[in-house]
Structure 1
Amino acid sequence: MSSKWRKAKLALGLNLCVYVPPHPINSDHALLSPVTSPAILTSPSPRFSTSFFTRSPKKTCSICLAALKHGDGCAIFTAECSHSFHFHCIASNVKHGNQMCPVCRANWKEVPWQSSAVELPPGRARINPFEWSHDNNSVAIVRQLSPRPNSTRHLFQSPEPAVFDDDEALDNKTENAENNSTNTSPLPEDIESCKTETVMVQTYPEVPAVPQFSAYDNFTVLIHLKAPTSFSGYSCEPNQSKLPQHSQSPRTPIDLVTVLDISGSMTGTKLALLKRAMGFVIQNLGCNDRLAVIAFSSTARRLFPLRRMSETGRQKALQAVNSLVATGGTNIAEGLRKGAKVMEDRREKNPVASIILLSDGQDTYTVFGSSNNQNIANYDLLLPTSIHGKQSSSFKVPVHAFGFGTDHDASSMHSISETTGGTFSFIEAESVIQDAFAQCIGGLLSVVVKELVVTIESVDSGIKFGSIKSGSYPNCVMPDQNTAYVEVGDLYADEERDFLVSVNVPEEFLNKETSLLKVKSVYIDPLTKRTVTLDSEELKIKRPEVAGEEMVSIEVDRQRNRLQAAEAMAEARMAAEQGDLAGAVSILEAFREMLSQTASAKSHDHLCVGLDAELQVMQERMASKHVYEASGRAYMLSGLSSHSWQRATARGDSTDRSSLVHAYQTQSMAEMLSRSHASLSVSTSANMFLQPMPR
């Protein structure tokens, strides 16, 4: 019997592994491997189907990383180059114009095809219609019906519009009708009536009392801000019933553009893990969030317009991401230009907008090519003027950059994020890419404060401000030195910000206390669109005739240590870039010694303990030039980004996901990370990139 099967295969000249399940064929769920020429399906006998499948050189699908197992509800396609994939995975690739093997990059003459004429229920991958006939030997002969002309390359062959004003409208009515569900998400008038929390403002003097007849020129005051927690209510979120109570609340919808590197170096596991991470992002965007994806290599392409993540939107987004194939060079500037164009040309705008950039290589088209000195990198050339944070334009979109692997240009990625107001994360271990994305979107999906500006005013004209230490946040002291500003921007739920203000303390002859300053905060509530203005109480210090031994405020000391640590990191990096690794290590070591003597460190403050451990890792990553260039630079820049913006970033070389947890992580970020961990702990389903998660 086996010889007949072998002869039949050889007679048709096929090198395919295909399988027909032992249960009756269902046209919607048939397990088969469609090809463009007639194919022989194996006998229902398990004896023969098993022997055929053992010839497959791979046991997992290189696109979705799920197991290739017969009888689990998914068709298997084995290409002429002998590599095997789930049919719905590879058919989506072909549908979007890719006709080469994602593994060996061989060009295929015969490709799988998905008919657009067959519509299956939402969440089901479509397969080709077939005509069946059987001979007397029970061998099923499959003949694929003719596809429509030019149906396989429509995405990458169709020209892009000159203006990206085809973004999907921000309209809830369409979504409600499409999902045929009762959406009790608050309407705008309902949100207006909700009682929201406000930003909390606190001030801490360096010491609570100063001698009455003494004057100080550099007295430090801490300005502490904490964003409100999102209030209780209903949220139009996927998997809402599984979310913690903290997340079940109205939130600000987002316009998100992901700019993804699909250059040749992303081939294989990197691209597969990127697709899985993007699948997680897509599944966790709400129905009012909008997403566009830009893929870049030697050039850049918008995969689909800015689209709401409804059931249909998720389905199309997942299929488009699943179609990506790695090839070509690395043109970061072109990817960012197209991502900025999506943001700039959109007809309607969600309250929050952000760009996520991921690359594993160095820009080979822009950074050095247009510079006067070919050896000097000009990272400003990577950014289009429309999202350049230094421009005096109201259109500013933060770019959160992710350096993937050890070969990316950490300096350029950090420069892009720093200029636009975003963060830079270092993903050294491929396996943590989804966690890094999860932490980022956990914050982006919890914005509760927009365009926050903090004004610091002296109570008396004799009180003068010196400097303001605010990290990367722009600040300004007015010429009269009685007023100062800090532009904070957006805050995620529960985020905290700390700034140090230097102020003079004059002598006091009459009063037992001195009023120094007061703080005013002005911001926009993104849910209600209202402008909120808050005035703090005046900060006063006691003025005894003789001051006792006053303890330095732990809150002030902690933030002083953080800012000085960031300065030490920056100084050490400059030394390392000049080749003086020993000097860089000495700088960090000297600061660690000084840190250990501070009041907050002696009290085992959690931030100071974390700073010391982080500085030690940086020293280890300067052991040699090779180690520094491979990981030390990126690790240090990610740390600088985190401390200067006081926002969580991902960094580290371990698959231990606790490396992502540190002082700036909010509850929303932690919850999204937990969801990522849960999804990764479960075996990847064969159709995770084509079927949205249950809602």
Structure 2
Amino acid sequence: MANPSSATADVCAICLSDLGRGQTLITAECSHVFHLRCISENVSHGRRDCPLCKATWRDVPVVEPAGPYADDEPIAEPGVQQHQAQPAVEAGTTVTLKTHCERPAVPRAASRDGFAVLVRATAPGATAEDAEAPAPRAPLDLVTVLDVSGSMDGNKLDLVKQAMGFVVDNLGPADRLSVVSFSNDAQREIRLTRMSADGKEAAKRAVEALVAGGGTNIRKGLDVAAQVLAARRYTNAVTSVILLSDGKDNCNNRGVNLMPPSLRGGHGAGAATVHTFGFGTDHDAAAMHAIAEATRGTFSYIVNHEVVQDSFAQCIGGLLSVAMQAARLDVACAHPGVRVREVKSGLYENHVDADGRAASVQVGDLYADEVRRFLFFVDVPASDEAAAEEEEVTNKLLTVRCTYTDAATARVVDVAGEDAVVRRPVELLDGDDQPSVEVERERVRVAAAEDMAAAREAAERGDREGALHRLRVGHAAVLECAIGYAAYGGDEDDEDECLDELEQDMDEMQSFMVDEEAYEEEGRARLLSGVRSHQMQRASFQGGKATRKSSFQTKAMKSMVTLSAKSRRKQQPEESSSAPAKRRRKHK
């Protein structure tokens, strides 16, 4: 028998097999890592010491009983090709980091407090659809939690079944899917199954067999989903939950937290995100938003029932193109007198060192081609460099780095980005004081998201006039910035339509502040979904308008939504429409 002490850090010291991706691991108190199944057997035989260092464990690793869901199908062997329309992440590429200073120059003798520096991170892009050998993408473990209460009976459930069929068709053979349904109670309809040809057939049969009836127990549905994930013997690189409901939880006491503890707060590589979908106008928007918020998921709401498939398509378009996991952005002050004062990072946690010399943002996961923009406000001192008046002087303000896990390869990547640099002339010349349109646009976007959030809080207090005021102020600022952006032009590589979307969003949100009925029917969901999308800088499906596109949509998302729309047109007669009539509202 081989000597366990000779095992490397990449090998389980008990079975001497690789500690590869896809198997559940456990870290003992001595910091050595083993397969969960191996340490379970050791502990069951009374062994309390580490096979590697022989340290006696004070706290014996406790392994909970696997329960009824420890029957997940083994993950695919490395090299299994993902045959679906989704493009993979381009091989050999890394995150791109660019910086923009609010102005290109600061007078040599002047100082600036709160000088804005925009850092833009762009995830590696997807390979072209006609590429000869697309790179492998990260496989997905997906649990869909579907409401089958009585209110889902009829056309709504039929449309959800159709949407699930589209999801199944577009998962690859290395992806795994489990389906959970809930009404008064919840049950797993199919184990976590690889989407091979046989797996897809089994998943479709399980979905087609769903029958509506009973109440709405969202907590029970999520409990079962959490148990399915917790009991996994194997794990794929990406884990996510999709929750769809058309009503309010009426099986638990009011105020009960609908999120199981095991699903809350996981932000590292492999943590499960819960993406929620409010179906129709009777769902609990506040609860669905809170569930998504707890796991860095998105909240979408669907008024037009016919486009539920498109909303699922957009979501899986992102999930099937995860490029980066556990990403962290780090900036450091390059000039000795520069200090970071504040960071605007939306919903992403940031930290500024006590001395202001460094700051970081926990970015999490990014889809292929996805962009994140963050504003760093720094204090810039007067330049003390001795130089002739005509000599060019520049100050390097910040250095930028990003570390993350490559989702497809599990490789840790560390990338240095573009430094933030300003010129320091003795006097400003023409153009030296021209504000950066990229920085100004991001200022306006951040302020608009804050205005939306404040408007929602005011509306919840019953202060619709106050809500309207905040939205009008934000709307005016967006319009002013859009005019400036068009006049001076932005980054030529930046094709997003963020300002147009903001203008439409804030205009539409005002229409839901006309009366309480309008706000309760759709306004709350519209604001919650819109605010979350802008603060996350990630696309969500809002309002169910088939032609509405989010500026945060990635190429992979757009491709999947286009595929879904084509699929729907083939399956549905033109006259079919279950969209509720929407009355026009005017706002002052």
Question: By the TM > 0.5 criterion, same fold?
Answer: yes
Tell me, in whole angstroms, the C-alpha distance in 1 between the residues paired with 2:197 and 2:480: 57
| Deviation string, structure 1 residues 169-198 (Cα, Å, up to 9, x no partner) | 01349x98xxxxxx798xxxxx99x94211
**How many residue pairs align between the two structures?**
489
| Deviation string, structure 1 residues 403-460 (Cα, Å, up to 9, x no partner) | 1100001111111111101101111110110000001101110111111111111113
Point out the more displaced range, 252-261 or 595-604: 595-604
Q: Which runs of 5+ in 1 are unaligned?
A: 1-159, 177-182, 186-190, 233-242, 369-376, 686-695
Quote the offset at 1:352 in angstroms: 0.6
Match of 1:384 in 2: 260
Match of 1:438 in 2: 313
Is 1:671 aligned with 2:556?
no
Matched ranges for 1:180-579 at <5 A: 195-231=91-127, 249-366=135-252, 368=254, 377=255, 381-389=257-265, 396-510=271-385, 512-548=393-429, 550-579=433-462
Is 1:634 aligned with 2:525?
yes
Is 1:596 aligned with 2:479?
yes
Counterpart amino acid of 2:75? L
Which of 1 and 2 has higher RCO (CA within 8 Å, sep 6+)?
Answer: 2
Q: Could you tell me which of 618, 622, 625 is aligned with 2:516?
A: 625
Q: Could you tell me which of 450, 464, 472 is aligned with 1:581?
A: 464
Counterpart amino acid of 1:342? V
Tell me, in whole angstroms, the C-alpha distance in 2 between the residues paired with 1:613 and 1:667: 22
Tell me, in whole angstroms, the C-alpha distance in 2 between the residues paired with 1:393 and 1:615: 33
Matched ranges for 1:595-614 at <5 A: 595-598=478-481, 601=484, 603=486, 606-614=497-505
Quote the offset at 1:614 in angstroms: 1.1
Q: Is the 8 A contact 1:231 1:249 kept in 2?
A: yes
Tell me, in whole angstroms, the C-alpha distance in 2 between the residues paired with 1:219 and 1:326: 57
Counterpart amino acid of 1:164? Y
Quote the offset at 1:248 in angstroms: 5.4
Given the two structures, how large is their TM-score scaled by the length of structure 1?
Answer: 0.67
| Deviation string, structure 1 residues 120-162 (Cα, Å, up to 9, x no partner) | xxxxxxxxxxxxxxxxxxxxxxxxxxxxxxxxxxxxxxxx982
Quote the offset at 1:532 in angstroms: 0.8
Q: The residue matched to 2:455 in structure 1 has which SS?
A: helix
Tell me, in whole angstroms, the C-alpha distance in 2 between the residues paired with 1:246 and 1:439: 25
Q: The residue matched to 1:383 in structure 2 has which SS?
A: coil
Q: The residue matched to 1:673 in structure 2 has which SS?
A: helix
Counterpart amino acid of 1:569? M
Q: Could you tell me which of 69, 72, 75 is aligned with 1:164?
A: 69
Tell me, in whole angstroms, the C-alpha distance in 2 between the residues paired with 1:161 and 1:298: 25
Q: The residue matched to 2:294 in structure 1 has which SS?
A: helix
Counterpart amino acid of 2:481? T
Matched ranges for 1:60-75 at <5 A: none
Q: The residue matched to 2:443 in structure 1 has which SS?
A: helix
Counterpart amino acid of 1:251? R
Tell me, in whole angstroms, the C-alpha distance in 1 between the residues paired with 2:164 and 2:69: 22
Q: Is the 8 A contact 1:601 1:609 kept in 2?
A: no
Could you say if the C-alpha distance between residues 246 and 405 of structure 1 is closer, same or farther in structure 2, counting changes exceeding 3 Å? farther
Matched ranges for 1:649-664 at <5 A: 649-654=540-545, 657-659=546-548, 661-664=549-552
Counterpart amino acid of 1:339? A
Tell me, in whole angstroms, the C-alpha distance in 1 between the residues paired with 2:504 and 2:171: 35
Quote the offset at 1:537 in angstroms: 3.9
Matched ranges for 1:46-125 at <5 A: none
Match of 1:38 in 2: none
Quote the offset at 1:299 in angstroms: 1.1
| Deviation string, structure 1 residues 671-693 (Cα, Å, up to 9, x no partner) | 111111111111369xxxxxxxx
Tell me, in whole angstroms, the C-alpha distance in 1 between the residues paired with 2:253 and 2:435: 47
Could you say if the C-alpha distance between residues 366 and 590 of structure 1 is closer, same or farther in structure 2, counting changes exceeding 3 Å? same
Tell me, in whole angstroms, the C-alpha distance in 2 between the residues paired with 1:367 and 1:544: 66
Quote the offset at 1:525 in angstroms: 1.2
Match of 1:689 in 2: none
Counterpart amino acid of 1:676? S
Could you say if the C-alpha distance between residues 393 and 663 of structure 1 is closer, same or farther in structure 2, counting changes exceeding 3 Å? closer
Matched ranges for 1:7-26 at <5 A: none
Q: CA RMSD in A?
A: 2.5
Counterpart amino acid of 1:222? L
Q: Is the 8 A contact 1:388 1:396 kept in 2?
A: no
Counterpart amino acid of 2:350? N
Counterpart amino acid of 1:586? H
Larger Rg: 1
Could you say if the C-alpha distance between residues 392 and 532 of structure 1 is closer, same or farther in structure 2, counting changes exceeding 3 Å? closer
Tell me, in whole angstroms, the C-alpha distance in 2 between the residues paired with 1:463 and 1:319: 62
